[in-house]
A and B are shown apart, each in its own frame.
Chain A
């Protein structure tokens, strides 16, 4: 009985865990959000997020394994310990912070609507009434549209690519995603010249947070500290800029 109560006490008092240094880290990535993360024909994963992940691991001298996971299940998978961190252009939002913790931001890109040219756009629920808007499920954009355009017909997809397919098939009037993802995943691809951005760049912190960070389990504060230190270092030594220039012609870190 005494042993059991000791065990129970141990579980309750688990706050004084000694910080451990992470030497091998499993990182969850999406692999379906070009140019941040995409799967090549041979099965390898490339993109901005991937390069950042590798740079951070090199900086921390840690052995990293990339684990591909559909966006839908990426936070549950983190909590289920399928991997230890998520580097997948995930906005630091209050909603997510209820479940997971974040490092400092590593990029900040505004969200935007895209539509067939000459579609027109007004930022009112009245205008959007009955319009088909496509968005990736479980994103900050999903919440933004649900809150601001309740009268629109919101269609939620597993990946941004699926939404682009239905936009091309004219099942959708608008798609909302990160502006750089729309450029890389739709506008610059074959048949993308028929589409254009509509409306302003959106980055209201109420929905989109302060940018995208690396998500980790709330308990692993030591891992967050390790990532933050490495992030500062690659920002300072020019590695970050090198990666950025490989994919974008503008500053993705934001002010």
Chain B
């Protein structure tokens, strides 16, 4: 065991930590932007709206994130029309492909959480809102959404942890995230144990910070109630 190499190459790991953090954070935010409308419209009465959303959620929840990333990163290069369009400017960047895959994936999982809490909405509250003369939009904004988000928090904190773990595959498509950094260091010093152990410690710090933040958040809601 020789951990001096980790200290020597700490800037690789710092770079990786930063990449993992912004990649995961941005995916989660963008994913949430997809998930909320998708989760609500998933129970729409219109088949034309309901079906595509069902298909999107089914595909991204039913197949591995790794395969989704490969479809986007390697698969995109198969289409000449894509490579000749302005979009290639983005698709040629590994970070964009990873961000897209992560966003769609977490979007689908989060949409399922959103759908779940909406469908188990206490009916009494909705009836009370109606009795107060609230419009449909007002009810959604004032009653349904805040109440649902509160109940969704525990499941969502799990999704965030899964996303942090899942993001480790970004290192496979040339991105220097924490895993990517560990791979570079391992390649240079032929010390897999040290290199990956350091990565494991960094991921643990990230995960436990996330868990801590969510615990505080959940507590905050409990007091408000």
Binding site for B on A (CB under 8 A): 72-73, 75-76, 79, 95-96, 99, 137-138, 142-143, 155-157, 165-166, 168-171
Contacts and interface: CB of A to CB of B under 8 A. Distances in A.
Interface in B169-201: 174, 183-184, 186-192
B83 interface: yes
A99 to B, nearest CB: 5
Contacts of B88: 170
Nearest to A71: B187
B77 A165 contact: yes
Contact of B94 (A137, A138, A171): A171
Given A156-B184, A169-B92, A76 B77 contact: no
Contact of A155 (B77, B174, B183, B190): B174
Nearest to A72: B187
Q: Is the interface of A mostly helix, strand, loop or mixed?
A: helix
Contact of A95 (B83, B184, B188, B192): B188
A170 B83 contact: yes
Contacts of B93: 171
A25 B191 CA distance: 24
A138 B188 contact: yes
A100 to B, nearest CB: 8
Nearest to A132: B92
Contacts of B83: 169-170
Interface string B68-101: 0000001001000001000010001110000000
Contacts of A137: 183-184, 187
Nearest to A136: B187
Contact of A72 (B92, B94, B174, B183): B183
A141 to B, nearest CB: 12
Contacts of B192: 73, 76
A95 B94 CA distance: 30
B94 A76 contact: no
A142 B174 contact: no
29 contacts: A72-B183, A73-B192, A76-B186, A76-B191, A79-B190, A95-B188, A96-B190, A99-B189, A99-B190, A137-B183, A137-B184, A137-B187, A138-B186, A138-B187, A138-B188, A138-B190, A142-B188, A155-B94, A155-B174, A156-B183, A156-B184, A156-B187, A157-B174, A165-B77, A169-B83, A170-B83, A170-B92, A171-B92, A171-B94
A75 B191 CA distance: 9
A73 B94 CA distance: 23
A96 B191 CA distance: 12
Contacts of A73: 192
A104 B174 CA distance: 34
Contacts of B190: 75-76, 79, 96, 99, 138
Identify the 5 closest CB pairs spanning chains A and B, nearest first: A138-B187, A169-B77, A75-B190, A155-B174, A137-B187
A98 to B, nearest CB: 9
B188 A165 contact: no
B137 to A, nearest CB: 45
A156 B192 CA distance: 17
Given A137-B183, A142-B187, A156 B92 contact: no
Given A72-B187, A156-B187, 18 more contacts: A73-B192, A76-B190, A79-B190, A96-B190, A137-B183, A137-B184, A137-B187, A138-B187, A142-B188, A155-B94, A165-B77, A166-B174, A168-B77, A169-B77, A170-B83, A170-B88, A171-B92, A171-B94
Nearest to B175: A155
Contacts of A166: 174
Nearest to B195: A76
Interface in B143-186: 174, 183-184, 186
B13 to A, nearest CB: 15
Nearest to A78: B190
Contact of B174 (A95, A143, A156, A168): A156
Nearest to A134: B174
A137 B186 CA distance: 10
Contacts of B187: 72, 137-138, 142, 156
Nearest to B188: A138
A143 B188 CA distance: 8
Given A155-B174, A169-B92, A72 B184 contact: no
